[in-house]
Amino acid sequence: MTVAVAAAVADGVLPGRVWIYSNYHCNLACSYCLTDSAPGVAKRALTADRMVRVAEQAAELGFDAIGVTGGEPFLAPGMAGTLARIADILPTIALTNGTLFSGARLAALDALAGRDIALQISLDAADPDVNDEARGAENFAQVIDAIPKLVERGIRVRLATTVGDVAPHDAARLCALHRELGVADEDHVVRPIVHRGRAAERAIGVHATRDDLPAELTVTADGAYWSPFGPTVRDGRVDTDLLISRTTDPLAVPAELLLRAVEGRPPGTDTTLNIR
C-alpha cells in the first residue's frame, strides 16, 4: 500500500507536501487566526525529533516536500536547527509571522542559508494600519524590518497575504513593496481568510469544505488531518471534521487513509477558492 501512496504522489493524485504543526502557541493573536493562537494557549507541540521523523517517513513514502506551520514555529526552542535537519530530507517551507528574528534567533537562521528552505512570512497589506488591525500593533514595521535581514543571509523569503478582499490598488502597492524588499513575484501568495478557527468565531472568511482544500497530509500533536486547514481550533477545541487518524507514526497509516479518501475525487476541484 505504501507503493500506492508513492504512485499517487507521483501521479498528482495526492499533493506532494506533508505539513507539520510544530506548535499552536504564538506571540501574536491575529483576528482571523485559524488555530485561535495566542501566547497563552495550549502548545500542542511536537518535539524536534518527532518532526524530523515525520519528514523522514514522508520521504520514504514518496512525498516530495514539507511545510512547517503553527502557531509560531520559531517560539519552539532550536527551530532553526530543526528546520535545517528537515530541509536536508525534503524541500521545506516554514510559515512564520516574522516578528521574532533578532538576537540569537536571527543568528541561528544562518543554519538555513544555502538549504532548500523558504520562510513564508505573513503580511496582509501595504498600509501599516490595515495590516496591523488584523495582525497587531507594530507588526508591519517588524516584518518590513525582518525580511531584508533574511534575504541578506541568503534565505529565500515568501510573502503570504491573507485577505478578506484586496482592492486592486492595494494589491499593486503590496507587490511593489515586496519587490522592493527582495521577494520575487512567484514568492508572493494571496489567499482568502478561511471561515474556521477564530475567523469562524468572528463570523468572517470564506466557507471551505473538504473539496475546496488540497488533500495535503497534515501532522499535529492531535493526529493527522486532510489539509493544513483541518486542525483548526475553535473555543479551545481542535476541529475533528477533517481528522484522518490519531495515529501519525507510522505516517503510512494516515497517508493510506488519506489516499483512500481522495481516490475517485475529480482532479482540480480544490482550486476554486485558491486556498493554498
Partner 1 sequence: MSRVELLGADDAPLVARRYYDEGDPGPIVAALAQVPEMLDSTLAFIGAVLGPSSIDGRTKELVILRTSAVSLCRYCVDSHSVVALDTGVVHDEVAALRNVEAAWTATFADPREAALLGWVDAVAGGRGPVSDESSARFKAEFADHEVVELTLLIAATLMLNRFCTALDLPTATAVLDRLRRERLA
Taking the complex as a whole, the smallest distance from the CB of residue 190 to partner 1 amounts, in Å, to 28
The residue among 14 and 30 lying less far from ligand SF4, judged by its C-beta, is: 30
Binding partner at 257 among partner 1, ligand SF4, none, C-beta below 5 to 8 Å by kind:
partner 1
| Partner whose binding site includes residue 260, from partner 1, ligand SF4, none (CB under 5 to 8 Å by kind) | partner 1
Beta carbon nearer to partner 1, 169 or 237: 237
| Cell numbers given for 150 | 533574511
- Distance, in Å, from the CA atom of 226 to the CA atom of 192, rounded to the nearest integer, reads 18
Instruction: Please tell me the distance from the alpha carbon of residue 82 to that of residue 70, in angstroms, as a whole number.
Output: 14
Q: Which three cell numbers stand for residue 82?
A: 530543526
Q: Choose between 130 and 206: whose C-beta lies nearer to partner 1.
A: 206
Segments in the chain forming alpha helices (H): 2-10, 48-61, 79-87, 103-108, 128-135, 139-152, 168-180, 197-201, 252-262
Residue 197 C-alpha cell reads as 478557527
Least distance from partner 1 to the Cβ atom of residue 144, Å: 40
67 has which bridge partners?
Answer: 19, 93
Nearer to ligand SF4, 23 or 57 (CB): 23
Residue 26 binding target from ligand SF4, partner 1, none, CB below 5 to 8 Å by type: ligand SF4
Minimum distance from residue 248 beta carbon to partner 1 (Å): 10
Question: Smallest distance, Å, CB 249 to partner 1?
Answer: 12
Return the C-alpha cell found at 265. 475525487
Q: Which is nearer to partner 1, 38 or 257 (CB)?
A: 257
From CA 187, how far away is CA 38, in angstroms rounded? 27
Contacts to ligand SF4 by CB under 6 A? 26, 28-30, 33, 35, 37, 70-72, 97
Residues in contact with partner 1 by CB under 8 A are 210, 226, 239-247, 253-254, 257, 260-261
CB of 139 to ligand SF4, least distance (A): 8
List the one residue out of 265, 260, 210 whose CA is nearest residue 5.
260
Locus of grid cell 497589506: 125
Nearer to ligand SF4, 63 or 74 (CB): 74
User: Between vectors from CA 243 to CA 239 and to CA 246, what angle results, nearest 5°?
Assistant: 110
